Structure 1
Amino acid sequence: MPIEIGVILPTSTPDPARPILGDVRESARFAEEAGLDSVWSTDHLAASGPMLDSTVVLATAAAVTTRVTVGFNVMLLSLRPVAWAAKQVGSLQYVSGGRVVLGVGTGNPAHGDVAWRAAGLPYAERGRRTDAALALLPDLVTGKPTVLNDGTELAIAPGAAMPPVVVAGDARPALRRAARYGDGWATIASPPEKVAEGLAEIGRLAAEHGRPPVRATVVAPGLDADPRRAAERLAGYEAAGVERVILGVSGPDWRRDYEFAAELRAAYR
């Protein structure tokens, strides 16, 4: 299948000196009208720069669109009690009409551990907490009675369809996590050959759990500024097993970046 092309909503600022905080409603509508396939929100409690709450952002985007996928890029499950995370994901799935993709990660070390300390949670255990949450999340989201790790039993209502899970990260634990829990794997700026290597390893690990191989999402792929040449690069990604690329926002003028993404999609298709 052709690669889907999505964009990150202008709701986070990698460089605090250059704010990229735009209108969520306008940018989501613009992306959908431009023919793009998905819109994505970053996630953190306290990052190194300003960042809006991902669930609020995606609910807003879903409310003003009808077609595009709305995705977490990526939700930090280890910062939330798993029941609350399930409530957020299930509610978003419900109000969006089933358009959610749940990207999951453990957090960029560049942001430090302040968010975990503020939440009263152990930063060193974020990988273990993420795995534990992923094991429980499908039953919680779909409304099945679930026993939490502390013995508490609950069923969240209303239930919703569990969205596809895309596990992010290039380190060995992330590859194992993608193989065991993921419907897809996300990597940042990896070239096609590295993507193919990662997918091959995930496929081998997935087989050990009796699970099928997955396809990849590449965030911020290295692409030429010319849409036609960039489209040629996408062909290499498609051959490597990529199902989706997500383009970032380079500055306050997010429209220019979205227009490039739309031109790329047209040239590629």
Structure 2
Amino acid sequence: RSDPSSFCIISRLKIIKTDISLDGTKKVLFELEDGNRIESVLIPEKNHFTACISSQVGCAMGCKFCLTARQGFIRNLKSSEIINQVIQIRELLDQPEKLTNIVFMGMGEPLANFEAVKKAVNNIISPDALNFSRRRVTLSTCGLVPEIERLGKDLPINLAVSLNAGDDKTRNMLMPINKKYPLKKLIDTLKNFPLHKGRRITFEYILIRDINDRLSDATNLARLLKNIRAKINLIPFNRYDGSPFEEPDEKRILAFQDELIRKNYTVTIRKSKGADISAACGQLITGP
């Protein structure tokens, strides 16, 4: 990969602090030039590392299970601020080449900042810049339908969709965006999303006790995703102070997974890393 110093970096982000989890996850608090702050996460995997990066300061989507939503939306990040997260996260490693995966799953809705994210991704995957494989870059969205269509045309990277319910009533309650782009509209768009050979859309499903963790919920999900090249990541809810939600018990999580496997889906249970330093899915926040 290209040496980051070999191309121009006009500015750098100020690292305020780095927290280290018992599992080796590192959460970095960056300060931007205007004093706003964002968080990024470096996640250790078996033989490599993944950088979870932010696309906005705060978030406007208002998902009920996500702490970032409580901060509200402050502003979009510039493409340089997105790229600098990757560069400076990579500098934390003794072997920078071990950072192979980039996920847009930090603070903010990436598709609500489409142009800056597009420019950043093009630099991340360009052989003349950071030179990451496009197959190793994943963008997660709550379901902005017009921008998903643009993504399919403009950026050849992996798509993940934060779904979290198989019916509109439950998803409306958890994710306000569903009232604008209900499930039928979202799923119809995803059925037409261009996928390279062997690739699938990842559906992220945060399991919340007594909200969306019943076997009937699994059945609804299986029915919804029929005829989509899909893989499903089940993410037990990560608690934070003041949240009304709780994680299901393990028996219920496994039963949910088994029901989906029985319907011939590829299903992974993802225990989020970094929960002890509030670096897990849905726990990032930099405001009061």
Taking structure 1 as the reference length, the TM-score comes to 0.48
Which has the larger helix fraction? 1
Which has the larger strand fraction? 2
Taking structure 2 as the reference length, the TM-score comes to 0.46
